[in-house]
Structure 1
Amino acid sequence: MSKALIKQLIEEKVDNSGLYDTGIDGVQLFKITQPIECAPVVYEPSLTAIVHGGKEAILNGDKHTFNTSKYTCCTMSMPVEAGIPDASEESPLLGVYISLNSRLMTDLAIEFESVGGNFSQSSASSAPSGIASARWDADFTDALYRLLLLTDNATDIAMLASTRLRELYYSVLKGEAGSIVRGSFGVGNAIGRAIEYLASHVNENVTIDDMASKIGMSKAVFHRKFKQATTMSPIQFVKSMRLNNAAKRIAEGTNVSVAAMDVGYISSSQFSRDFKRMYGLSPKQWEKENKTKAASMLQ
């Protein structure tokens, strides 16, 4: 099996620029034909396989480039700035976006560990990371192709989609990103659970002491392990999540004050200060300059 066949399959199914539902829950095809500058987004747990073109993401000041050489697994919610700098009609960004079913991945990771499965070491790092890349090996390529073949038949999707998603997830666990995925979804994934809790409660006043106590760690250990996983301190993470969510909503047309309150800010002046410190623009300036940018961003 080859990526060329997957690329051909995608080209047969997508025409114009945008995201295309496949009928399989959480699985979408994408085609982007215009360049998009970096804008704040929140990556959700997902798997992205690019078959043509490339994109970039800036995480805590570090730029990461994603292209056809590796697929990418985002194992937890992450505040980033992302863009597609070189897309065009002649050379579009093409690929597959799969929203990870956290329960299925957790069950598989724990089961794999229980039977003594061996994970390949990530070529990037052995430390936990919210975004991991892995080489397209034969198992992953074959599993992805078999999954996408279901998209033409509703009966096939109903009968086989869950099985083939499981097969694809299993190929990820066996691949180069396997050790990182296990750190987020397998036994002892307390930090992963804490990150998802914080990501889904960014508008609430959750203290770091509370989170550390909840997962049975000292504040110092929790802080260290959290930073290993996200490259940010817990406080930086929460602030970035809040501001990225707010920036995206403002670009989509939400009133600045409403966006600030929705992500947990009580003081509008504090929101404006934090926003300008992160993006170099006031919320009102951001609204004028980025009206469509974040709304069109492929996440």
Structure 2
Amino acid sequence: MEDIRRLVETHAPSHGLFPTALDGVSVYRKTTPNPRQPAVMPPLLNIVVQGTKWAHLDATTYRYGAGTYICAPTTLPIESEAPQASEEQPILGVQILLNTRAVTELLVDLAEHTPPRRPSPANGPELAPTVVEWDDTFTSALQLLLVLLDDDARRRALGPGRLRELLYLVLAGPAGSSLWHTIGRSHDLNHTIGFIRDHLDQPLSIDDLAQRAGMSRPVFDRRFRRATSYAPLQFIKALRLNAAATLITRGSDITTAANDVGYASPAQFSRDFKRHYGQPPKQWSRTAAAIGPTA
């Protein structure tokens, strides 16, 4: 673990998220604490090598700290929390996006030899995140991947294979069933969620979304809630408000943020925002400015 921590520290020299030359792989350092606040989590693998973070989805809290990773198989409206980050004890980690060609190609190759696994209903919503504790094999694979960042020639020659090895371990582990069920099996609801994410600034009809998913409205409503724990309208509103709050945190003005997530009425946006977060957008903007940027 110490060698991995040093590698992340070297390639994330200050607060922020730093893309690497490996497909979909970034490293990060978080030096400022942030209270619980909204965020939009894309399909990703977030591997923590120092510190602790929390993600809140509906009524469920996911704690992931050093020696664990969280795997999110689809875009989700969450609330994130990292109250203990500091310059002296930063949160360090590796982020790997899961909507990349490398993941898709691996799943296609494996599908010929490995029967896909379905998530168990007892484990919660089908598309919910999974927190996994590393084992020694994963630790070794992660270190072998990160060490390539110091050598361009070795990275170009060995990087894709080592990334596939790490992703294979995720697929073979506790988070694998949710990935098979979404990315690996072209899950209809996963594609619908991707469409929602990419069209937040446009009107979204539940009937149209159900048709896009190839389901009747009642079946769509039932399956969506089972997969995400949200009703479709509730999910869209949460995703819009979380995206707007994130834009405001990054410096966007309130009107622009509202427009960017599909609100034509600033008054309606303010009402929904206050109802959802307990404070109006202007107060949120002042609070976000005091907290500063997050990673």
**Is the contact between residue 110 and residue 187 of structure 1 (CA under 8 Å) also seen in structure 2?**
no
Indicate whether 1:128 and 2:126 are aligned: yes
Q: Show CA shifts across 1:85-144 (max 9, x none).
A: 11233332111111224443233234323313575978x827512312223133322222
Q: In structure 2, what is the Cα distance between the partners aligned to 1:218 and 1:105? A: 31
TM-score (norm 1): 0.89
Separation of aligned partners in 2, 1:281 and 1:127:
29
Unaligned runs of 5+ in 1: none
The amino acid across from 2:195 in the alignment is: Y
The farther-off stretch of 170-179 and 216-225 is 216-225
- Deviation of 1:63 (Å): 2.4
**Deviation at residue 252 of structure 1 after TM alignment:** 2.4
Distance 1:236 1:102, change over 3 A: farther
The equivalent of 1:83 in structure 2 is 81
Residue in 2 aligned with 1:98?
96
How do 1:196-211 residues align onto structure 2 when only pairs under 5 Å count? Answer: 196-211=194-209
CA distance in 1, matches of 2:185, 2:110: 10
Partners of 1:27 and 1:116 in 2: CA distance = 26
Contact 1:37 1:83 in 2 (8 A): yes
State the one-letter code of the partner of 2:95.
Y
1:60-103 residue CA offsets vs partner (Å, 9 max, x unmatched) = 24322111242111111111111211123333211111122444
- Contact 1:38–1:82 (CA under 8 A) maintained in structure 2: yes
| 1:263 positional shift | 0.9
2:19 aligned to which of 11, 21, 27:
21
Answer yes or no: is 1:288 the counterpart of 2:286: yes
> 1:58 deviation in Å?
1.7
Is the 1:83–1:297 contact (alpha carbons within 8 Å) kept by the matching residues of 2?
A: no
1:55 is displaced (CA, Å) by 0.6
Q: Aligned partners of 1:135, 1:102: CA distance in 2, in Å?
A: 23
Task: Identify the match of residue 187 of structure 2 among 177, 186, 189.
Answer: 189
The verdict on how the C-alpha distance between 1:118 and 1:99 changes in structure 2, with shifts beyond 3 A counting, is closer
Cα distance between partner residues in 2 of 1:94 and 1:87 = 9
> Is contact 1:120–1:174 with CA below 8 Å preserved after alignment?
no
Instruction: Indicate which of 209, 212, 217 corresponds to 2:210.
Output: 212
> For this pair of structures, how many residues does the alignment match?
295
5+ residue gaps, structure 2, are: none
Q: Tell me if the contact between 2:26 and 2:94 (Cα under 8 Å) persists in the aligned partners.
A: yes
Paired with 1:113 and 1:67, the residues of 2 have a C-alpha distance of 32
Shift of 1:197: 1.1
Query: Equivalent residues in 2 for 1:271-286 (5 A)?
Result: 271-286=269-284
Question: Which has the larger displacement, 58-67 or 166-175?
Answer: 58-67
Query: Aligned-pair distance for 1:26?
Result: 2.3
- Worse-matched range after superposition: 185-194 or 20-29: 20-29
Question: For 2:43 and 2:227, how far apart are their aligned partners in 1?
Answer: 14
Tell me whether 1:116 sits opposite 2:114 in the alignment.
Answer: yes
Change (3 A) 1:212 1:119: closer
Q: Is the 8 A contact 1:251 1:291 kept in 2?
A: yes
Show CA shifts across 1:134-178 (max 9, x none): 231333222222211110122222233222222221111101111
Q: 2:144·2:162 contact (CA, 8 Å) conserved in 1?
A: yes
For 1:1-299, list aligned pairs within 5 A: 3-117=1-115, 125=123, 127-291=125-289, 293=291, 296-298=293-295
Taking every aligned residue pair, what percent have the same amino acid on both sides?
Answer: 38
TM-score of the pair, normalised by structure 2: 0.90
Change (3 A) 1:242 1:14: closer
Q: Secondary structure at the match of 1:237?
A: helix
Check 1:278–1:91 CA distance in 2 against 1; reply closer, same or farther (3 A cut): same
**What secondary structure, in the 3-state scheme, does the structure 1 residue paired with 2:123 have?**
coil
2:10 and 2:101 map into 1 onto residues whose CA distance is 32
Cα shift at 1:280: 0.9
Alignment-mate amino acid for residue 42 of structure 1 = V
Q: Post-superposition, which runs of at least 4 consecutive aligned residues in structure 1 deviate over 6 A?
A: none
| Greater mean deviation of Cα atoms: 92-101 or 108-117 | 108-117
- When residues 214 and 120 of structure 1 are mapped into structure 2, their CA distance, relative to the original with a 3 A threshold, is closer
CA distance in 1, matches of 2:219, 2:2: 46
